[in-house]
Structures are given as C-alpha cells and as structure tokens.
Amino acid sequence: MQPVITVRHLVKRYAQMTAVDHISFQVAEGTCFGLLGPNGAGKTTTIEMLEGILRPTSGDIHYFGQPLKARAIYQDIGIQFQQTALPDYLTVRETLRLFASFYERSLALDELVALCHLHDVVNRDARRLSGGQRQRLLLALALVNDPRVVFLDEPTTGLDPQARRQFWDLLQQIKARGKTIVLTTHYMDEAETLCDHIAIMDQGQIIAEGAPQALLAEHFSGALVGLNDVVLPDDMRQRYASYLSQGRLYIQTQQVEVLLADLLAARVPLSQLQVQTPTLDDLFIKLTGNPLQEAN
C-alpha cells in the first residue's frame, strides 16, 4: 500500500539553529502516526512543514506519491493547531458554518455535531466553552472539510485527565472512519493509547521509530526496577542491564524475585524501590538520560 505521506531528509534551519535535522519517515493510510518528544524537539516545526505552512530548508515531502503543493492539499487535510483564535460572538453552530464555507466540500453540520459530541453546546457562544468543549469544537473544525488526513498538534495540552481521556475516545472514533491522523504530543501515555506508529524526536532528530510495543520489546526485556542513589556491585553490573538517570538507577530483569534477592544479598539499599512494566516514558529516559517532563 502506498504511504499517505513520505518524508525524506527533511531539514529546517533558522539562522544558526537547526530545528529539524535530516529526518525521514512514512505515514500509512488509516493509521495514527505520532511525533513524540519534549517541547523544542522539532515536532511542531515538522508538522507545519507537512501542512505546507513552513517551507523546508531542504528535503522532500510527498502526498500519495506526489510532491507537496500546499494549495492542492488543503481540501484533503484538516488541521487542529496548538492555538486557534475563533471569531467573537459566534455560537458553535455559526462557527462550524463559517468554516464550512471556506471549502469546496464539507460534512453536514449535524454529522459534525454528533461526531464531536457537541449537542449540548451547539447554540452556545464559543467563548463560553470549557477546555474540553473547545478542543472538541476545534477538532470539528479540522474535520469540517471531510479530510483524508487530520493533523493534531498537542491537542490535549492543558486538559484535565478526564477531558483528555474523553478526547482520546473521540480520536479513536475518527480513526475508525478511515482517517489518517498525524499527532504531536509530549504525553507518552497518549501515544501508547492512540498511535499505531511513533517517531520520538529529540533536538531535531528522530531517535527511535516504530510501533510502540515493538519499540518497547526492542529496548526492554521483562520488568524495570528503579532505585534511588544506588551503585551496583561490579558482578551485578555484569549480570544485569541497567542505566542511570537523574540519580535514579534502572535495572532490567525477567526475574524480579531473583534480582531482589541479589540486591538484598549485596546489601544494596532499596530506597524508593519501584517495579514496573516499561513505558514509552522509560524508553525516552533510556535513550536521552532525562525524564520527558524535565526535558520540556
């Protein structure tokens, strides 16, 4: 199957700073592709080049095998920006009608309202929406032209946990309609829930790419045990894969009970010991040495 989007050796420079540094990837049709990483990693710059908003310094972007031509793709893509200023004094219904008028084709208003769960606020002034309601309206605006590809740039930033999960459910429904979703986020749990394929960015480069579970299986084996302020004896460092981040030691093991027995026998202090299944957050720590929240 031909990819929806193909990116080759994409670069974006600003004066002496390189925001995106020779990245390449493909987005398959009908999937959710995630660009992950801390703020400043190059995610938004990358997505704005894919949307035709920014011109790359060098590299190629193709849609369905054809070079990107911004005006030609706008009927086929929908965009939810990090920040969107909406017209004042318009209701949700009026805002949807206004944006629908910008396109050659559009979804029926009632279908958009139902799809994005806007029934209760359709006649409300858009300025009076809660954070979650506003995000659902912005998603409806991204879908108003019935696009083939939907770009979502950190769509759940600032939402409370309940609103985030409600938004995730909504995105699953959008994907079930056959839409291709390109999502940027610095929430690794969001990516694990929504994405079929991810690319983790740091300092303008892709440092890992693949299906979330495949990446975890590639970099981790078994459970992950975390300890504070610990130095392993030499013999244990040879027997166990481990790495250090921010003063915390992480040890990989398929036999937690054996590891704990070895730690006790070596009189290693078990300060704030935690046993967990590795996550994408742990993968980011392993690859960069920093927790994602501290990299923001």
37 and 135 share one domain: yes
Domain assignment present for residue 150? The answer is yes
pLDDT of residue 123 exceeding 90? yes
141 and 230 share one domain: no
Cβ of 145: how many Cβ atoms within 10 Å?
20
Average pLDDT over residues 190-209: 94
68 and 164 share one domain: yes
What pLDDT sits at residue 287? 87
Percent of all residues in the chain with a pLDDT value above 70, rounded to a whole number:
97
For the stretch 260-281, pLDDT in tens is 999 999 999 888 899 999 999 8
118 and 97 share one domain: yes
Task: Name 112's Cβ contacts closer than 8 Å, sequence gap at least 6.
Answer: 96, 118, 140, 143, 144
What pLDDT sits at residue 292? 65
170 and 197 share one domain: yes
What pLDDT sits at residue 125? 93
Task: Provide the sign of the torsion angle of the four alpha carbons 253, 259, 260, 263, taken in this order.
Answer: negative
157 and 251 share one domain: no
207 and 227 share one domain: no
**pTM of the entire structure?**
0.87
Degrees (nearest 5) of the Cα angle 291, 292, 294?
70
Domain count, the chain: 2
Domain boundary among 174, 189, 216: 216
What pLDDT sits at residue 55? 94
Domain boundary among 172, 200, 216: 216
167 and 122 share one domain: yes
Bridge pairing between strands 58-63 and 5-14: antiparallel
Type and span of the H or E element at 66:
strand 66-67
What pLDDT sits at residue 1? 63
pLDDT of residue 18 exceeding 70? yes
What pLDDT sits at residue 37? 87
Contact 216, 241 (CB under 8 A): no
For the stretch 213-259, pLDDT in tens is 999 999 998 899 999 988 889 999 899 988 888 888 999 999 999 99
User: pLDDT-based confidence at 293, cuts 50/70/90?
Assistant: low
Domain assignment present for residue 286? The answer is no
238 alpha-carbon distance from chain centroid = 36
Domain assignment present for residue 285? The answer is no
For the stretch 184-197, pLDDT in tens is 988 888 999 999 99
For the stretch 153-178, pLDDT in tens is 989 988 888 989 999 999 999 999 99
Domain assignment present for residue 130? The answer is yes
Contact 148, 181 (CB under 8 A): no
Range of the domain at 273: 222-277
Nearest to 285 by CA among 220, 204, 232, 223: 220
Cβ of 6: how many Cβ atoms within 10 Å?
18
Domain assignment present for residue 204? The answer is yes
Q: DSSP state, 172?
A: H
243 and 154 share one domain: no
210 and 235 share one domain: no
Average pLDDT over residues 119-142: 92
Distance CA 261, CA 250 (A): 16
63 and 204 share one domain: yes
Note the helical H segments in the chain: 43-50, 70-73, 92-100, 109-115, 131-143, 161-176, 188-194, 212-219, 234-239, 256-265, 280-288, 292-295
55 and 118 share one domain: yes
Domain assignment present for residue 288? The answer is no
CATH at residue 160: 3.40.50.300
Which residue has 């790495």 as its token pair? 243
User: pLDDT-based confidence at 70, cuts 50/70/90?
Assistant: low
Domain assignment present for residue 114? The answer is yes
pLDDT of residue 72 exceeding 80? no
Domain assignment present for residue 103? The answer is yes
State the amino acid at position 214 in one-letter form.
A
pLDDT of residue 39 exceeding 90? no
Percent of all residues in the chain with a pLDDT value above 90, rounded to a whole number:
66
User: pLDDT-based confidence at 16, cuts 50/70/90?
Assistant: confident
pLDDT of residue 282 exceeding 60? yes
